[in-house]
Homo-oligomer: A and B are copies of this chain.
Amino acid sequence: MVAPATTPQRAIVEYWVRQAVYRRLGTHLPRTAAGPNPLVVNVSARHCHLTPEAVEVLFGKGHTLTPWKWLYQDGQFAAQETVTLIGPRSRVISNLRILGPCRSFNQIELAYTDAVALGFDIPLRLSGNIEGTPGCMLMGPAGFFELKQGVIRASRHVHMHPADAEFYGVKSGGELKLRIGGPCGLTLDKMLCRVDKSFKLEVHVDTDEGNACNLQPGTQCELIR
């Protein structure tokens, strides 16, 4: 599977233009534009990560996920496939997007607004840390799959290349804040830094966080200590 070329995000184009303009002017870049990589902030709508076994139960024997939209981190994609989530009070969320590739565990990431609508009480957890979290039922075209656990609100985090971590002065597992501008701007505390050579600099916030500040492609964002 090779990801096709896609139009770069506005934050990346702005970063390129800023670099070029300041180089032309012969002046120093402002701190917010001087990082080794552009800062991309993306809103993660509710979604799930599934094992190959769960995909087969939901979509049929031998079925594998089909990439629909490539995400910013290399190799990650939103799949064409979606499922229906059935919550504890028989309320449902339809068209819950599956993100690929498949993982070794099943996990559903909801915003608190989703959880309230479903009647869930879900914990704030780091992705992957799902021990003791609530479960739910998923429905696909080929069958039902019951998760014993795995429904969480994912903690805010920022993916960083080691060069980004060095620029911002943090280590993997450390925290930064994200200042988001605009007429209903805010600053998110406790943004966990996940550092890996394979990562591109990207913040994931959920729909509650994104909607609280009306985060748009042109909104000014800045990682601060």
Contacts and interface: CB of A to CB of B under 8 A. Distances in A.
Interface of A: 111-113, 116, 124, 153, 155-156, 183-190, 206-209, 211-212, 214
Interface centre among A206, A208, A209, A214 (most CB of B within 10 A): A208
Q: What secondary structure prevails in chain A residues at the interface with B?
A: mixed
18 contacts: A111-B211, A112-B212, A113-B207, A113-B208, A113-B211, A116-B207, A116-B211, A124-B183, A124-B184, A155-B183, A183-B190, A184-B189, A184-B190, A185-B189, A186-B209, A186-B212, A208-B212, A212-B212
Give the copy number.
Answer: 2
A45 to B, nearest CB: 9
Given A113-B113, A155-B184, 8 more contacts: A112-B212, A116-B207, A153-B214, A156-B184, A186-B186, A186-B209, A206-B212, A212-B212
